[in-house]
Structure 1
Amino acid sequence: MPELPEVNALVEFLDREMAGAVVAGMEVGSFSVLKTFDPPIDSLAGLAVTGVTRHGKFIDIDVDGIHLVVHLAKAGWLRWSSAFSETRIKMGNGPLAARVRLDRGDGPHEGFDITEAGTRKGLAMYLVNDPLDVPGIAALGPDPLVGGFDLRPLLARHMQVKRLLRDQKIIAGVGNAYSDEILHAAKLSPFALADTLADAEISRLETALHDILSEAVEQSRGKPAAELKDSKRTRMRVHGRTGEACPVCDDTVLEVVYSGSSLQYCPTCQTGGKPLKDRSTSKFLK
């Protein structure tokens, strides 16, 4: 799933590539992808792109006051092209969800596709006059890389810290992968309860949250969309590394599978050497 650093890189890429372009049209390849009906998609035609910004994991393309908002969900991605054919995309069940064509005066030959792999469809696109009309954006918590962000008040909740980090209504932009990395760097169990953390643990978590995301943003910056997924995978220290050696202590990275997802952690670094039990036993280490 694209998270804050990858979405940030996509936003910067689009902002560069779309500067000065006019939208020639938008085509939808899936009935389910577009969540709004007003403004209609043909209202974009002939309007200039005026900027691209990020809200958490949402991409916001401002087209002369109409906002095309994209949430890539778990399996969505963006693919840029400088050589589209004139053939319009067709409705179907394939991975191509939408196409946006751009024109710089020489015809609608460039732009981007939005794709989604797999059968579980979560990709969402919106056309709105105000980004806050998108429910997910209106409900977002604070962005951890925006000045003035304060983690401590957000931890006053009786919930597992892993779940808290991933809750977009509490903190915007962090998902499964980076929450694993942040908790590993902070030396915290993913099942530690947020409202029971000691001051030293909170300080480590604050530092890890900022440093892991800032480093990932810088390492993603300037990379083309096609390279971002592999770049993310190579940076992970524990996420997706089940059975491999922890780069800090050389212990074996372990995994917990739950609710159709999974997390990875290092027992030595995070849980005092004890393995966490999965939900099938209902025994969680704190």
Structure 2
Amino acid sequence: MPESPEVDALAGFLRTHIVGRQIAGLELVEYGALKTRGRLTSELVGRAVTGIRRFGKHLAIDTEGPSLVVSFGRAGWMRWSGEPTTDAATTTTATAASTDATGGAAASTDATPTAATDAAKLTTATTSAPTIAVLSFADGTELLLTDGGTWLSLGLWIVDEPAEVPAIAKLGPDPASADDTADQLDGVLAGRRKQLKALLQEQERLTGIGNAYSDEILHAARLFPLTHATDLDEAQRAALFAAVRSVLGGAFARQRSVPIDELKARKVAAMAVHGRTGEQCPDCGGTVADVPGSKGAAQYCPVCQPER
């Protein structure tokens, strides 16, 4: 699942490559992806892209008219395709677009052999995921919207304002924001008899964190994932806030220069515990295990994160 660091890196790519381009059409391969039945894809035709905005794990492609909002869901993503075939004005050259989309400088990681293998497999899966819709531009370039899941999770909205998308309207504060404070996190935790793992993924409370980064944050904070928020003392709350900032901050910095078709794979390669069942914890040497009751979907280190 794309989380805020990957979506933010994708937003940066799109700002460089599609802002200024004129939309030629939005072709739907899977009609079920379009959630705004009262709006026509033709409303986007002829409009120039004016900006890109991130709302948690959602992206808004703004135009001179309506915005196209993309919610990636569990397995949605994008691929850049083609080179300009006309003299239509763009903000970038085709050479830069081609290079950045497929072979730009990648952030370094200390991936284990297993992580590197998993990352290579995921890169292949990302580039071969089925196309759900095609956003084409007047110069012949295309942005392919894909979904590699067993069920369709990618959603598209044509709206006048992104807040018209129900999931965006309900979003809580973004912990990646420079304005985020420890007091805000305390407010999220206050009075919540809810497990930390679930609470971190509650988009109405904290936006942009999903299954993978919640595992990494709790590992960094040395907190057992099934601990209830109300059971944390002051020191543990401070550790959790520090972990949110450090894990997300590191991920944002790490993903910033990675080609978009490698972002998901680089995310996997950088994980300390998520997806590492049976492997050695990089911090203590213990064995990473599945979170009880998660059916293999979430991981932690029983040594670093003991149940208390």
CA distance in 2, matches of 1:20, 1:97: 24
1:114-129 paired onto structure 2 within 5 Å: 114-129=145-160
Structure 2: give runs of 5+ residues left out of the alignment: 86-128
CA distance in 1, matches of 2:78, 2:288: 31
Any idea what the Cα deviations from partners look like across 1:104-133, whole Å, max 9, x if unmatched? xxx4x1121111123222111100001000
1:258-277 paired onto structure 2 within 5 Å: 258=293, 262-271=297-306
Q: What residue is the counterpart of 1:20 in the other structure? A: 20
Task: Quote the offset at 1:39 in angstroms.
Answer: 3.0
CA distance in 1, matches of 2:73, 2:61: 17
1:7-86 paired onto structure 2 within 5 Å: 7-83=7-83
- 2:79–2:145 Cα contact (<8 Å) kept: yes
- 1:18–1:49 Cα contact (<8 Å) kept: yes
- 1:245–1:252 Cα contact (<8 Å) kept: yes
Q: What residue is the counterpart of 1:151 in the other structure? A: 185
CA distance in 1, matches of 2:259, 2:66: 26
Q: 1:260 to 1:126 in 2, by over 3 A?
A: farther
Larger RCO, structures 1/2 (Cα 8 Å, 6+ apart): 2
Q: Is 1:139 paired with 2:174? A: no
1:106-121 paired onto structure 2 within 5 Å: 107=139, 109-121=140-152
- In the alignment, residue 195 of structure 1 is paired with which amino acid? T
CA distance in 2, matches of 1:39, 1:261: 40
The TM-score, its normalising length taken from structure 2, stands at 0.81
Q: What residue is the counterpart of 2:212 in the other structure? A: 177
- In the alignment, residue 119 of structure 1 is paired with which amino acid? T
CA distance in 1, matches of 2:246, 2:147: 30
Q: 1:256 to 1:101 in 2, by over 3 A?
A: same
More strand by share: 1
Q: What residue is the counterpart of 1:245 in the other structure? A: 280
- 2:134–2:142 Cα contact (<8 Å) kept: yes
More helix by share: 2
- 1:76–1:116 Cα contact (<8 Å) kept: yes
Q: Is 1:102 paired with 2:133? A: no
CA distance in 1, matches of 2:9, 2:296: 25
Q: 1:41 to 1:10 in 2, by over 3 A?
A: same
- In the alignment, residue 267 of structure 2 is paired with which amino acid? K
More divergent stretch after superposition (38-47 vs 175-184): 38-47
Q: 1:96 to 1:257 in 2, by over 3 A?
A: farther
Residue 230 of structure 2 aligns to a residue whose secondary structure is helix
- 1:98–1:113 Cα contact (<8 Å) kept: yes
CA distance in 1, matches of 2:40, 2:57: 24
Q: What residue is the counterpart of 2:113 in the other structure? A: none
More divergent stretch after superposition (135-144 vs 65-74): 65-74
Q: 1:183 to 1:38 in 2, by over 3 A?
A: same
Task: Quote the offset at 1:151 in angstroms.
Answer: 0.6
Task: Quote the offset at 1:38 in angstroms.
Answer: 3.4
Q: Is 1:186 paired with 2:217? A: no
Task: Quote the offset at 1:37 in angstroms.
Answer: 2.5
Q: 1:180 to 1:124 in 2, by over 3 A?
A: same
Structure 1: give runs of 5+ residues left out of the alignment: 86-93, 272-284
* Aligned Cα root-mean-square deviation (Å): 1.7
Q: 1:36 to 1:266 in 2, by over 3 A?
A: same
- 1:38–1:128 Cα contact (<8 Å) kept: no
- In the alignment, residue 140 of structure 1 is paired with which amino acid? L
Aligned residue pairs: how many? 261
CA distance in 2, matches of 1:97, 1:214: 31
Residue 69 of structure 1 aligns to a residue whose secondary structure is strand
CA distance in 2, matches of 1:8, 1:17: 14
Task: Quote the offset at 1:261 in angstroms.
Answer: 6.2
Identity %, equivalent residues: 43
